[in-house]
Amino acid sequence: MNYRIEHDSLGELKVPSDKYWGAQTERSHENFQIGKEKMPPEIIRAFAILKYAAAESNQKLNLLDEKKSEAIKTVCDEILAGKLEDHFPLVVWQTGSGTQSNMNLNEVIANRGNELLADHLLHPNDDVNKSQSSNDTFPTALHVSALLAVEEHLLPALDDLETTFKALARENKDVIKTGRTHLQDAVPLSLGQEISGWARMLEVSKKMITTALNSIREIALGGTAVGTGLNAHKDFPDLVAKEISKKTDHHFVTAKNKFHALTSKNQIAFLHGAIKALACDLLKIANDVRLLASGPRCGIGEITIPANEPGSSIMPGKVNPTQAEALTMVCVQVMGNDTAITVAASQGNYELNVYMPLIAYNFLQSVNLLADAMKSFNLHCAQGIKPNLEKIEENLEKSLMLVTALNPYIGYENAAKIAKKAHEENTSLKEACLDLNLLTEEEFDQIVDPKKMVHLDEDSF
């Protein structure tokens, strides 16, 4: 391999000649050979966005000449287009401020920019990092990447799954089935009502996530090293927030208090908490689906789901609820990530939190996994859910909890006698009721009608 000599404040060292990074990146590359988890590409792109916005802002403030600014912005656009992916080698497990990743961007932009300029005009610290510090750029990259990932990937996947459930709820609003609480038989409801609960879970989760997103729109850029804004123009924070908004087509504002923005990670923890809540509901939904589809002959079997692949290497003809299983595993991973983010967010010391790469990695993994899992579950499972009307009717007829409709007419205790007798003697509720001489057959049929026990509220669909 060919090398060139680069230098930083600690001295000289060899850097691969075909890479645009410099000395500080190389030191991190050599000193932190920990794990295989690279800094997420979303963070790299967010850094490119903020470096672009900083160059534009510094030019407008007459702090950076047009030639340098245009070169920086050109390289940032190359990064955003995915042209320089091989030049960002650093792992998550580095300094907790993400300083080396900030310098990785600074060095790549400076060296590539100088190549474009055919002159050594750009300095990674003095020009690319002008008006900035790692301590305010990484929190900014964290918020920018988080908001873009949620709004552009997670929420569209959530909306699509919600749309599927709402359509299924309407289609099956008149399919009456037995309800279940505590995993035991309960009074009836419609399959549409049951599915409408799943749709509402997603609707509420979206509201919580979008509420939490509002605080993520605050960015730390302009606080520099400790929040005082040392070496940054007084107009830089507002201006750079506007430029980031323009570049991303998403609204961002400068943080009201930069000391909070640098050291506290409560906003990202709050947002991930809402995402974790979505994972909790998705796990419940996936479990409902696979339990209701259990069988095909010896389970509940009230719905059918698509058969996507053979389910066993030894049992011919077996099909498993694999999409539900994948979704539940993703949900558990998100819950684990939430614990890591919670602990990391509690570890701010004085003017800085030094667990930010971990927070970024776990947050973006949660968002990407959930978005992908919801898309897959929607496409390969939810859209193919169908009622098994024969099994639904069979289970409904056997349900002892239909006796609940008799309470207002014969009282709770007499109704309990009917249910107990029917269960012990393995007879129907009607037979038990008639044997106890509590009602006539006509009266029983008039009262115990599952359709009358389900109050269909059209607003639910």
**Which residues are part of the catalytic machinery?**
182, 312
DSSP state of 382: G
The conformation of residue 151, written as its DSSP 8-state character, comes to I
Question: Residue 190, by phi and psi: left (phi above 0), alpha (psi -120 to 50) or beta?
Answer: beta
Sign of CA dihedral 367, 370, 376, 382: negative
**Whole-number Cα distances in Å, 117 to 60, 110, 111, 353:** 21, 10, 10, 37
Structure tokens at 392: 């639904």
Asked if residues 96 and 46 have their Cβ atoms less than 8 Å apart, the reply is: no
The string of DSSP codes covering 114-129 is HHHHTS----IIIIIT
Element containing residue 26 per DSSP (H, E) = helix 23-31
- For residue 348, the surrounding DSSP H or E stretch is strand 348-349
Dihedral angle computed from the Cα positions of residues 345, 358, 282 and 293, in that order, rounded to the nearest 10 degrees: -140
Encode burial over 41-67: b for 16+ CB neighbours within 10 A, e otherwise. Answer: ebbbbbbbbbbbbbbbbbbbbebbeee
Residue 176 to residue 184: CA distance in whole angstroms: 17
CA 26 to CA 140: how far, in whole Å?
24
DSSP code at position 150: I
Residues 6+ apart with CB under 8 A from 211: 274
Question: Which residue, 195, 139, 200, 197, is CA-closest to 170?
Answer: 195
The secondary structure of 383-410 as a DSSP string is: GG-EE-HHHHHHHHHH-GGGGGGGHHHH
Is omega for the bond preceding 408 within 30 degrees of 0, making it cis?
Answer: no
Amino acid at 430: K
Per the CB < 8 A criterion, the answer to whether 388 and 177 are in contact is no
Determine the residue type at 140: T
HSE, CB side, 13 Å, CA atoms: give it for residue 189: 15
Number of neighbours of residue 91 by Cβ within 10 angstroms: 19
